[in-house]
Structure 1
Amino acid sequence: MSQSRWQWENATAGAVAGFATVATMYPLDVVRTRFQVNDGRVTNYPTYKNTAHAIFTITRSEGLKGLFAGFLPSVLASSVSWGVYFFFYDRAKQRYSRNGEEKLSPGFHLAAAAEAGALVSLCTNPIWLIKTRLQLQSPFHQSRPYSGIYDALRTILREEGWTALYKGLGPGLLTQVCHGAIQFTAYEELRRIMVDYKERKQKSESGGDLLNSFDYAVLGGASKIAAILVTYPFQVIRTRSQQRPSNDGIPRYTNSWHVVKATARYEGFRGFYKGINPNLLRNVPASSITFLVYENVLKFLRPTGRND
């Protein structure tokens, strides 16, 4: 099998995994975004007591469609992100490896994940910005909401210019690079430890086939927790900087550094972890689903096993 075909198998598996992740856990993503922008000061957004109250309130005031606001751009962005991520991540690993059989060190896994994360962030930031804007729309917000992806894109370009599509790129880059690097390094190392343990236990040579779906789900969830705890403040900063300007055209935050200063001043350290509970509830099982789907799709496309 050619090397280029292997790379497209990784992209396909990543895209399928990304779609499965978004489709199953999306309402919690909406709730997380609403929590992230609520800074405790005068705001157009409703206040929620907890995750359950947020889901109930959104459903009551906006209907079920409120829990799926921005779903289409989120599916698009997630599928593209994971597909591109796995594609470039696998290419980077192959480049760092002197031959297809050699196991990479944690440092090389970290470098490969960071490289892939930076490229993904540059490609998908406009889609994530539109997704965030659509998620934050509520009956209490703008007098003229976006009607969909195209209307949001057209309105943003007309009212704010093309540079607005890259608001939050700085913290977005830090999130993608650091989050992906931590998650994938943890995943690869935990995977190696688990495979080595099962090889010793079963005295088998075929390490690539030793792990089952439950193992992949555990590995994906554990690696995600580590990445979230370290990088979550970057997500809060990005979400707040991507908010739509008020009706008079004045943005709530001028840039990412303004977000950092205002959050630290008015909310302290806890402000940088607003919405982390629904984020963990969504992303830990979602990551388990992502890696479970990814590994099983990869096994289907690459039946001879994987070579890292």
Structure 2
Amino acid sequence: CRAIYFAAYSTAKEKLNGVLEPDSTLVHMVSAGMAGFTAITVTNPIWLIKTRMQLDARNRGEQRMSALECVRRVYQMDGIRGFYRGMSASYAGISETVIHFVIYESIKRKILESKARASMDEEESVKDASDFIGMMLAAATSKTCATSIAYPHEVIRTRLREEGSRYRSFFQTLLTVPREEGYGALYRGLTTHLVRQIPNTAIMMCTYEVVVYLLGR
């Protein structure tokens, strides 16, 4: 999923830089949106199977459902379209990706500009460990902001992917959950999600920047 995402993001950003103002906020927003749309469309069936297996509740002593059994069960119940349940919520989650990358790119640009001013050499291209630590902090900050704003789509997506779910569409679920469980239900599990996502995103973005830097040398 990450490989597809970053490949699509880099490609879109490269193309858009030749059409729009290079490395502008608009370029980052559109690139992130296109990358998110591509990755979600390709990988949704995988995440649906994962969610179904996590939610699988068998009686004690029974063997848990395997991935192959889960695939067969989804197909028998809903056909091919069953593998794309919850995709509308995932598309809504593109907003999280857009917010994340816009904030990240903005912080990264300020870090690089600050270093250039400090060294009095705007053409400086050599990076050291402090640059990548700064990018990890930028990634952690941007991911925290983006996830906190867009988290409800995660709850809605999980509800839509439940087997036999009475939730049928994004907006129907968005209205039903707070009406029946209160608005706090839309943020249930946020803390755990942040604990998992922030270190993961910081390491992933730093690794991406290191690879891009090494390949560009």
Matched AA of 2:2: W
Aligned identity (percent) is 28
Structure 2 counterparts to residues 192-211 of structure 1, below 5 A: 192-204=109-121, 205-207=123-125, 209=127
1:161: which partner in 2?
79
TM-score normalized by the length of structure 1: 0.64
Q: For 1:92 and 1:152, how far apart are their aligned partners in 2?
A: 35
- Find out whether 1:284 has 2:198 as its counterpart: yes
Q: Which residue of 1 aligns with 2:150?
A: 231
Does 2:187 match 1:269? no
Which residue of 142, 150, 153 maps to 2:68? 150
Is 2:16–2:22's contact at 8 Å kept on the other side of the alignment?
A: no
Amino acid at match of 1:281: V
In 2: Cα distance, 1:90 partner to 1:208 partner:
21
Counterpart-to-counterpart distance in 1, 2:105 and 2:53: 35
Q: Deviations over 1:260-299 (max 9, x none)?
A: 2221211222111010010111111111111122222333
Counterpart CA distance in 2 for 1:212 and 1:135 is: 39
Aligned twin of 1:212? 131
C-alpha separation in 1, matches of 2:26 and 2:2? 21
Q: Contact conserved, 1:113 with 1:181, CA < 8 A, in 2?
A: yes
> 1:256 — aligned with what?
170
- What SS does the aligned partner of 1:186 have? helix
Q: Larger RCO: Structure 1 or Structure 2 (Cα < 8 Å, ≥ 6 residues apart)?
A: 1
Q: 1:109 to 1:292 in 2, by over 3 A?
A: same
| Residue pair 2:89, 2:153 contacting (<8 A) in 1 also | yes
Give the Cα–Cα distance (whole angstroms) in 1 for the partners of residues 141 and 7 of structure 2: 23
Tell me which amino acid in the other structure corresponds to 1:286.
N
Q: Give the match's secondary structure for 1:209.
A: coil
Matched, 1:187 2:104: yes
**Aligned-residue offset at 1:138:** 4.1
In structure 2, the gaps of 5 or more residues are none
Runs (4+) of structure 1 moved beyond 6 Å? none
Q: Paired residues, what number?
A: 213
Q: Does the 8 Å CA contact 1:199/1:207 hold for their aligned counterparts?
A: no
Q: CA 1:120–1:158 in 2, change beyond 3 Å: closer, same or farther? A: same
SS in 1 for 2:44: helix
Deviation at 1:303, TM superposition (A): 4.4
Considering only aligned residues, what root-mean-square deviation do their CA atoms show, in Å? 2.1
What is the CA–CA distance in structure 2 between the aligned matches of 1:98 and 1:199, rounded to whole Å?
25
Question: Which residue of the partner structure matches residue 163 of structure 2?
Answer: 244
Which of these residues, 49, 63, 70, is aligned with residue 130 of structure 1?
49
Provide the secondary structure at the position in 2 that maps to 1:212. Answer: helix
Q: Structure 1 residues 291, 200: CA separation in 2 closer, same or farther (over 3 Å shift)?
A: same
Shift of 1:259: 1.8
Q: Is 1:294 aligned to 2:208, yes or no?
A: yes
